[in-house]
Structure 1
Amino acid sequence: MASRPLDSRNRRTGIIALLAAVAMLGMGYAAVPLYRLFCQVTGFGGTTQRATDGQAASAAEIARSAGTRTISVRFDANTTRDVPWDFRPLQVTDTVAIGERDMAVFVAKNNSDVPVTGSATFNVTPVQTGAYFNKIQCFCFTEQTLQPGQEVRMPVIYYVDPKILDDENARDVEQITLSYTFHKLEKQGS
């Protein structure tokens, strides 16, 4: 008779442990998208912000009313070892007016004899400027497939938010580096 309550407690403990394990597994899968969302919202770790044309126009208006200050933007392009592409910016540095839209162009060429699909990750340094670097349009928002020997030009339309001038940790920055790294994506079903 004493074994029935013991069996019941063991079963309950086992179910609780199983539920805890499933919950931890779920949190493990949710961690990456939640961290990405956190970085995109806060600019943490040099993550740039996505902006609309309307936000860019507002920033430009603010910058014009506050007076124009410029900042140097350096462009960096990399690929992982499994991406057989030449990938580079057309212009390595550019001086831009804070708050004004500008465009950088990157060139990618597939040097292999097969189509290659890649996705670009990006960041901005110094990291405290990530919250103020806004991209309106970017090749990094979508996957890129290059056919054998194909060369493409990929624009990035961006601006540096004038609010950077109000941040004591970022206002004296003279150069921002925007860096991209292409990673190979395996096609679904292949």
Structure 2
Amino acid sequence: MLARKNRRIAVAVLGGVMTMVGAAYAAVPLYELFCQVTGYGGTTQRADAPTGTIIDRTVTVRFDGNVNSNLPWNFGPKERAITLRMGESRQTAYVAHNNGGDANIGTSVFNVTPFEAGAYFNKLECFCFTEQPLAAGESVEMPVVFFIDPAMDEDPHLKHIKEITLSYTFFPAKGPETPVAAAPAVTPDPSNRM
């Protein structure tokens, strides 16, 4: 009787622990998905094409660039600000330079402020969608094509917004040391069977 009760408790505790571990692993991707869908925390939207509607209300978009201290790059916007009409798509660029003696790969995180504007800030093209490799001493111009959804004009909480800041921070990407194509083939050892 006692052994059965202990087994039930052990299974319940193990089930609780497994649920907590699963929830911890699922929290980050679910939070990222939530932010992308809602624009929460200044997360911008990704669009395939502009809305097709351009209205007269203008917004000034300011650009900011930062680099984590573990990445030997200089990075910043080519232009400090652009004023555009809502619905109008625009292109600008950021410039990155690898000051290090080795090639390395960077990945960027981004947000807009005020955070509430993230739901209306749409990117058509962005270097932030992929990792960016740079050879030692290499400089590159990285384009961003974006528009502000005219629906922002209908949001009573954002009527006062005249400026939006788009900010990127580059970090070292965690990638394989050897590209998969260059990795040596692995031959199974028949004596090492389980």
TM-score by length of 2: 0.89
Distance 1:120 1:44 in 2: 18
Contact 2:57 2:153 in 1 (8 A): no
Gaps of 5+ in 2: 179-194
Q: Post-superposition shift, 1:104?
A: 1.4
Q: Structure 1, residues 48-70: CA drift from partner, whole Å, max 9, x if none?
A: 000002xx1xx2x322xxx4221
Partner of 1:83: 71
2:34 maps to 1:38: yes
Following TM superposition, where does structure 1 have runs of at least 4 consecutive aligned residues deviating by more than 3 angstroms?
none
Partner of 1:94: 82
CA distance in 2, matches of 1:52, 1:38: 20
Task: Indicate the residue corresponding to 1:62 in structure 2.
Answer: 53
Q: How does 1:127-138 map to 2 (within 5 A)?
A: 127-138=115-126
Q: Deviations over 1:85-117 (max 9, x none)?
A: 010100000101110100110000000010111
**Aligned with residue 114 of structure 1, among 95, 102, 107:** 102
SS of the residue corresponding to residue 17 of structure 1 reads helix
**Equivalent of residue 160 in structure 1, options 130, 148, 151:** 148
1:49 aligns with 2:45: yes
Per-residue CA deviation, residues 117-137 of structure 1 (Å, 9 max, x unaligned), is 111000000011000000011
Q: 1:49 & 1:103 partners in 2: Cα distance?
A: 16
CA-to-partner distance for each residue in 1:150-179, whole Å, 9 max, x for gaps? 000000000000000011111220100000
Unaligned runs of 5+ in 1: none
For residues 3-30 of structure 1, what are the alpha-carbon distances to aligned partners after superposition, in whole Å with 9 as ceiling and x for unaligned? Answer: xx11101111101110110111011011
Find the aligned partners of 1:97 and 1:155 in 2 and give their Cα distance: 20
Kindly indicate whether residue 168 of structure 2 is the aligned counterpart of residue 180 of structure 1.
Answer: yes
Structure-1 residue corresponding to 2:17: 21
How far apart in 2 are the matches of 1:184 and 1:107? 16
What percent of counterpart residues are identical?
46
Superposition TM-score, scaled by structure 1 size: 0.91
Match in the other structure for 1:11: 7
Partner of 2:134: 146
Determine which structure has the larger helix proportion and give its number.
Answer: 1
